[in-house]
Each structure stands twice: as C-alpha cells, then as structure tokens.
Structure 1
Amino acid sequence: MADALLTSDLGSLPLLARGKVRDIYAISEAPGADLLFIATDRISAFDHVLGSGIPDKGRILTQISKFWFEFLADLVPSHVISTAVADFPAAMQPYASQLEGRTMLVRRAEMFPVECVVRGYLSGSGWKDYQATGGICGIPLPAGLRESDKLPQPIFTPAAKINTGGHDENISFDLMVETIGAAHAEALRDLTLAIYAKASEYMAAKGVILADTKFEFGLIRDAENPDGKITLADEVLTPDSSRYWPADRYAPGGPTPSFDKQYVRDYLESIRWNKQAPAPALPTDVIENTREKYMQAFRLITGRTGIEDHA
C-alpha cells in the first residue's frame, strides 16, 4: 500500500487554501486564474483532521467526482477542465507525482454561499431535527417516522456555509432566497433534486441506496454568459459528501451501515477520544479497512476495479 499524501507542495505556485481534505492552488498570480484542486489523503472526523491519512483516498475521491461530473453533464456543466496532468500548464509538470490521479484543473467560479443538501431518507442531522421539531429545516414531515426511513419524497434542505467553528448551519429555503435571490435559489433547488433523482436511479440498479448528499454550485462568467452560468463545483457524490447504503443491509429503525468514514468515527468513539486537538493517529488495521471501504464505493459507482486508469 502506498504512503498517504498528507500535504501537497507545489513550490512557488500560489496556495489559496488548505481544507480538511483539499489543497487549492491558483495556476498563476493573474486575476481569475484557473485553479488546481488537489485531494490529499487527509481524513477528518468530528471537525478535526486526524493524525493518519488513508492511502489513495484523494485519488479515489477525485476519480469518483470525475465519473459523476461526466455522468451528469446533460443536467449541469461542471467547473472541470481536465484531470489529466499532461493537460496541465508546464509549471505543474515537475509536480506530476503529487498531482497524478488526485487533481482537477478547474475554472474559477463565484461560489454560492450555500450548500445544496437533498435528503431521500431520514438520517444524520435530519433525524435529529425531525426528533426535535417533527420536520427538517422547517419542512413538516409525517409523524411516526423512524431513523433511516425513506421520506415520502426527496426534500431540499439547504445549509449556510459558516467559516468559523467548522460547521454548516441548516437554513430554510426562505432564508436561502434572501441570501442569493429567488431565481438562483429556485434554480439550485431544482438542479439538486434532478441530480439526486438521476444518481439515485443509477445507484439503485447497483444495489446501493443514495440516502442523502450535498452539492456546491457557482457562477462562471464568460463572453457568452456575462451574468454567469450555474456550474457544479468542488466534489460530487463522493462517500465524503454523501450517504451510500448497501440495499441488502437496509433496515429502518436505526442507523444503516454506509460506505463512508463512519467506520473511523466508530473507532474514535471506541477509544473515547475527547474530540479535542491533537487528533489521534489511526492503527494500521483501521487505515486498511477504511481504504477498502472507499475502494468498495469506487468500484460500485464507477464499475472499475482499480484506480490506476485515472486519465
């Protein structure tokens, strides 16, 4: 198993941000320059980046996103220019070993300050909200639903991006309208629900339930679209941004096993970590089992057996 890439280093290229997983660089100092999104092998839980990475995680996530961006192209354009290092500018070529398979060259977008969340099943923060209020984000739901129950129909529950404290805050659709305007809010809601419907149907044929997911959109302006064209950005339908459940293990009335980092969260709970820095490292078996869960998701989604064919 390869070593995990925890931090990228692209020399003098402008580093714009290091997130919990992604490092974002501009390809030059020029205003509006295209960006490099590098998915490292960092893994976070309970709002902390852990002391160990998961080898190949960044490659797996990047190639899952690439698959979905292409699959959804008839519904919405993406910000991706290329994921092939050979297509990147010459200044990137000396760093090919870091970039290969885990990097997207993308157009810079003006990102909407909301996350577009869609839920088809009752889980996570939606389940907590339902227990407290009988609905989610102000949307009333039938009484008597259980954890993991399928909702009568998928619902759109946006969240505001909060830059402090590491959390996003569920908001009402009315507040979303106040934040970005009715036309954009309605367009993002309709796109989110359409993407979820198409992706859910695809995964159901593979014996997988897409319980919920979240998307990020931005506006890209050019000569043809001076007011900006709505574009799907960041990551899409990865195990880090979505709940994928194996259909043959689905049993409403409690939590459902998923192809994501819940395995890591369960380990951290078992060692009674206080969820304060410094975050602990993971033992080898947890690292290997977590990588395999990501690989299972990759194989199910893409139909490919390995991540070597990444161009």
Structure 2
Amino acid sequence: MSGIGDPRLEALRWRHEYAGKVRDLYLSDAEPGRALVVASDRVSAFDHVLSPGIPGKGALLTQLSLWWFSRLEVPNHLVEPTAGGLAALESPLPPDVAARAMLVKRLDMFPIEAVVRGYLVGSGWVEYQASRSVCGIPLPAGLSNGDRLPEPIYTPAYKAPLGEHDENITFAQTVELVGATDAAAIRDLSLHVFSTASAIAEERGVILADTKFEFGRDAASGEITLADEVLTSDSSRYWDAEAYAAGGANRLDSFDKQIVRDWLAAHWDKQGTPPELPAEIVERTAARYRELIERLTLPR
C-alpha cells in the first residue's frame, strides 16, 4: 500500500518507507538499525481502508502497546523501555506524532502471525462448525460460539505478501517455514504472553478472547523479540467480563472496530469503493477504543 509521508518527519530526515493499513514506517540514515513506527487514525475492514478515520485511534493503539510492553517480561523491539523509545532521538518529534510513534530496533521478522485463542469465536468458530477443529487442532464436541476453550490454543497464520490474504497454517507448517527450534520458541512465547495478559485483563474485568503477535530476531543479541503492536484492540478481541457472564446478545461485543464491520456489512456488498462511515459509527467506535484503554490502564 502506498502512502505519503509526514513532511515534518521528512524535515527531520526520516524518509517514508512503507504505509500499512494503519501504521507508517520511517527510516533514517542517521539512525542505522532503527525504525520509526507511527500509528495513524486509519481504520480498515474487509481489506479496505475506510474513510474517515477514527480520531485519536493511532495514539490509543500506541499507548496500549507501550502499556503492555512495560508489563510483559519478554524481549521487545523498543530501543528504550520508556516513552516509546523516543528519548533516544537527538531531534524530538512533533508532539502529535510522538503520541503515535515508537522508535524500534529493526528485526529480521518471521513470516508468521502468532495467533492465540482462548475462546471459540470468529474464523475459529466457522472452522469448528465444519471440522470440529481449528487449524488442525481437534476440539471437544458440543462447543458453542464464544465458549471458553479447555486451554488456549496456538493457531498460527502465514503472513502473506502485502495485498494478499494471510493464510491459517498448522504448527507443522511453521516448522517448515522457520525450523523446529524457532517454531517451538514462538509458540511457547505466544502462549506465555497470552496467559500473562489474560490474567492482567481479568483483574480489570476484561476477557482477552484472542490475539495475534509478531516476532523477529534481534541480529545483535540473537533473541526472538516481540514486535509491532501488542495486545491492542486492533490485534486482539476483548470482551466485558460482566456482560459475558450475563449472557445475551451483547455478551460478545468487543472493544474494537466490530461496530464498523457490522455497519459496513449491512450497507455494502463488498463491490467497488466502500461507503463513507457515518459520524455516529465513527464516534461509537472511538468510544470503544477509549473505554478499553480506561478499563485496562486506569487504577481500579
């Protein structure tokens, strides 16, 4: 996906290298081995970037990633452990950009999305209905949509080239991609982080239903390192624990862009350019992102 870089960053000698659906990547000859990752307010659904964006979303995603990085005792890609690594910069960023940015180490990324599921929902539920398994992992009979699994399962995906769809794969296929040692390490790290994060979320009345991680290898240390965003409302599915326990139609309402997906599915046939999002949908979605941040990070 092409994009136009922020001229203020270009004036600081950061060149715009890549635009994803949500994040922009900048590189600088003055910062060898490092990258600047800047989250935008863009929102995507059904493989399309929509208009308008969600105000404040980029800052919220970055804030939540940094909050989680500080609580997970695994190596991560931040250059410095505080302030998004930005304290290591000689020239400060514009404040509105700094709120959405992380200065990170460049890693040799693994071509795997490390997905962990604690509950049966989404594409996992669809697959379970057809095969009583998810990504080749057999599950007990009689489960329903949204049920908690007996234990979290690791269901990786192959990260397809830009513009193509990621593909669910088996653990054996990850071994073919990255080797047995790294495949096992990524799986075990993913399950460990999920377990740790689930316990933290539950203390705050929030269920972490599923999430996806990305990992790379730090060339200097050789360590497998947690990268990109982590445990945000864009990469994870969170539910309100009280609503889930009460049951009913709203028990699986998630703190993310599901409002956008639902509206788009009802008002667009997935042909041509998607319609512009109404202001009410934008605000409701922004409120869900803000609510998750407050539920997780503010003292209870």
User: TM-score, normalization: structure 2?
Assistant: 0.90
Q: Which amino acid aligns with 1:13?
A: W
Q: Hey, what does 1:283 align to over in structure 2?
A: 278
Measured at CA, do residues 152 and 221 of structure 1 come closer, stay the same or move farther in structure 2, by a change above 3 Å? same
Are the equivalent residues in 2 in contact too, given 1:298–1:304 (CA < 8 A)? no
Secondary structure at the aligned position of 2:94 is classed as helix
2: CA distance between counterparts of 1:277 and 1:43? 17
Q: 1:194 aligns with which of 192, 195, 205?
A: 192
C-alpha deviation, 1:270, in angstroms: 2.5
Q: Hey, what does 1:309 align to over in structure 2?
A: none
Are the equivalent residues in 1 in contact too, given 2:79–2:88 (CA < 8 A)? no
Q: Hey, what does 1:264 align to over in structure 2?
A: 260
Secondary structure at the aligned position of 1:71 is classed as coil
Structure 1 residues without counterparts, runs of 5 or longer: 1-5, 306-311
Q: Hey, what does 1:116 align to over in structure 2?
A: 114
1: CA distance between counterparts of 2:46 and 2:114? 21
Q: Hey, what does 1:3 align to over in structure 2?
A: none
Secondary structure at the aligned position of 1:153 is classed as strand
Q: Which amino acid aligns with 2:208?
A: L
Secondary structure at the aligned position of 1:281 is classed as coil
Matches within 5 A, 1:180-191: 180-191=178-189
2: CA distance between counterparts of 1:193 and 1:86? 29
1: CA distance between counterparts of 2:19 and 2:170? 29
C-alpha deviation, 1:28, in angstroms: 2.1
Q: Which amino acid aligns with 1:245?
A: W
2: CA distance between counterparts of 1:113 and 1:150? 28
Q: 2:288 aligns with which of 259, 274, 293?
A: 293
2: CA distance between counterparts of 1:115 and 1:252? 32
Q: Which amino acid aligns with 2:47?
A: D
Q: Hey, what does 1:87 align to over in structure 2?
A: 87
C-alpha deviation, 1:129, in angstroms: 1.1
CA RMSD of aligned residues (A): 2.2
Q: Hey, what does 2:47 align to over in structure 1?
A: 47
C-alpha deviation, 1:256, in angstroms: 1.1
Secondary structure at the aligned position of 1:60 is classed as helix
Q: Hey, what does 2:152 align to over in structure 1?
A: 154
Q: Indicate the larger mover: 9-18 or 59-68.
A: 9-18
Are the equivalent residues in 2 in contact too, given 1:41–1:58 (CA < 8 A)? yes
Matches within 5 A, 1:161-172: 161-172=159-170
The structure, 1 or 2, with the larger RCO (C-alpha pairs under 8 Å, 6+ apart) is 1
Matches within 5 A, 1:87-106: 87=87, 89-90=89-90, 93=92, 95-106=93-104
Are the equivalent residues in 1 in contact too, given 2:66–2:84 (CA < 8 A)? no
Quick one: percent identity of the two aligned structures? Answer: 49
Q: Indicate the larger mover: 107-116 or 77-86.
A: 77-86
1: CA distance between counterparts of 2:251 and 2:184? 32
